[in-house]
Structure 1
Amino acid sequence: MPPAGAEPEGAQGSSTHGVGPWQGEWPTGPQWDRDLLATGDTRNVIDKYRYWTVEAIVADLDAHRHPFHVAIENWQHDMNIGSIVRSANAFAAETVHIIGRKRWNKRGAMVTDRYQHVLHHPDVDDFVEWCAERSLPILGIDNVPGSVAIERFRMPERCVLLFGQEGPGLSAAALAACEAVLEITQFGSTRSINASAAAAVAMHSWVMQHARLP
């Protein structure tokens, strides 16, 4: 198994666009995808996972996912959800929760939803019940009156970061379910930042507090 970030031995033409067919004797092991070894791997994955099956990648990620979750309200088919799922995959979030409409725009996910656990909740009550059963505190991310600067807040290691939709932000029901509401400190003239950008900042804030860096 090649180390994380290393180009797999035998790979041909490695680049951000992928690698060609495996050159030389094929590796053995259950993680290798024979079709990809034969034709090349153009997926958006780190070099460690080149030529691996989707199932093997998910299993390996499951072994070291972080214990924070991400939740997004989806009442109006928010275009940001795909980008948030992609960021959740990048920061190894445990699960992404979609609250509201089950269908969401996957274009921004860049196929990372194949490797990320995604769970649907029909409404806020169902989501809150799910969290309560697992003793997961819910932290809202929104710049509303009474919110606390995320830079000064110590996040629990196990928690759910809850995001509202672009524009309206968190719904009243979602705000009522939060143990705390955090805002990202801003220094310019705009009233808010893009929802997917805010989600990436919040997840990275958790990483800065809890993750073990390589």
Structure 2
Amino acid sequence: MAGPNEVGVGPWQGDRPDDPRLDPELLASGDRRNVVDKYRYWTLEAIVADLDRQRNPFHVAIENWQHDLNIGSVVRTANAFLAAEVHIVGNRRWNRRGAMVTDRYQHVRHHPRLDDLAAYAAGHGLPVIGIDNLPGSLPLETYELPAACILLFGQEGPGLTEDAHAICTDVLSIAQFGSTRSINASAAAAIALHAWIRRHTFGQKP
């Protein structure tokens, strides 16, 4: 097993289990990945397959015009709340550092333009709901978030573009009480996704 300051578990002790989900190399050398205990020693493919059987019906989309450092963190948050997919809109390349390799377990789809995201949403019957603190936005805290939807986030700083606003069914704001106009994009994503979880996983209205 791992020492007190080590992440994960060491090599498997005792007879090797006969389970096709387990990775022989991880059994031999140990599993130091950032995964929950249930998935220790599992292959990447087995983990993704198991997650696919449980994924939530909401999607996460984020605009990528400026290679925003927050995109990786948004992907990591989407993985934590088991989003169906993450949609990167704009530049194909995005900063993966903040994802902490969680993109390996999360389905990520690229759309060159917002029109492409809108077409995908329409084809799958998914309303696009923007998250941005602007005049006219509806409060996230009292909004009836649908189970199946796409939650769309803008870049750090400018927020959602005008074209992004145009494809949204509604735009929601997050209540703030300090001096700053907006919060970090990855923090906004975490709050919005948890609002979905509270409503649809625990049966509580936000």
TM-score tier (shorter): over 0.9
Query: 1:68 is aligned with what amino acid?
Result: F
Question: Unaligned stretches of 5+ in structure 1?
Answer: 1-11
Task: Show the counterpart of 1:9.
Answer: none
Equivalent in the alignment of 1:92: 82
The partner residue of 1:108 within 74, 87, 98 is 98
Q: CA deviation digits over 1:13-66, x for unaligned, max 9?
A: 277611100000111121100000000011000000010000000000001010
- Aligned partner (choices 142, 147, 158) of residue 148 of structure 2: 158
Q: Distance in 2 between matches of 1:172 and 1:30?
A: 49
User: Does the alignment pair 1:26 with 2:12?
Assistant: no
What is the aligned partner in structure 1 of residue 178 from structure 2? 188
Q: Aligned with 1:119: secondary structure?
A: strand
**Alpha-carbon distance in 1 for matches of 2:107, 2:132:** 24
Aligned match of 2:125 in 135, 140, 152? 135
1:13 is matched with which residue?
2
Instruction: Indicate the SS of the match to 1:192.
Output: coil
* Residue identity opposite 2:178 in structure 1: G
Residues of 2 paired with 1:55 and 1:121: CA distance? 25
C-alpha distance in structure 2 between counterparts of 1:212 and 1:147, whole Å? 26
Distance 1:142 1:135 in 2: 22
- Residue deviations 1:1-24, cap 9 Å, x none? xxxxxxxxxxx2277611100000
Q: What is the CA distance between 1:188 and its match in structure 2? A: 1.1
**Where in structure 2 are the equivalents of 1:119-134 lying within 5 Å?**
119-134=109-124
TM-score w.r.t. length of structure 1 = 0.92
Counterpart secondary structure, 2:145: coil
Gaps in structure 2 of 5+ consecutive residues? none
Residue 207 of structure 1 corresponds to: 197
Match of 2:164? 174
**d(CA) in 2 for partners of 1:26, 1:187:** 56
Query: How many residue pairs end up in the alignment?
Result: 202
Relative to 1, partners in 2 of residues 1:109 and 1:127: Cα closer, same or farther, differing over 3 Å?
same
Find the aligned partners of 2:81 and 2:52 in 1 and give their Cα distance: 13
What SS does the corresponding residue of 1:38 show, helix, strand or coil? helix
Note the 1:61-80 alignment, pairs <5 A: 61-80=51-70
Q: CA RMSD in A?
A: 1.2
Runs of 4+ off more than 2 Å: 13-16
Instruction: Give the structure-2-normalised TM-score.
Output: 0.96
User: 1:212 offset after TM fit, Å?
Assistant: 4.6
Structure 2 equivalent of residue 83 of structure 1: 73
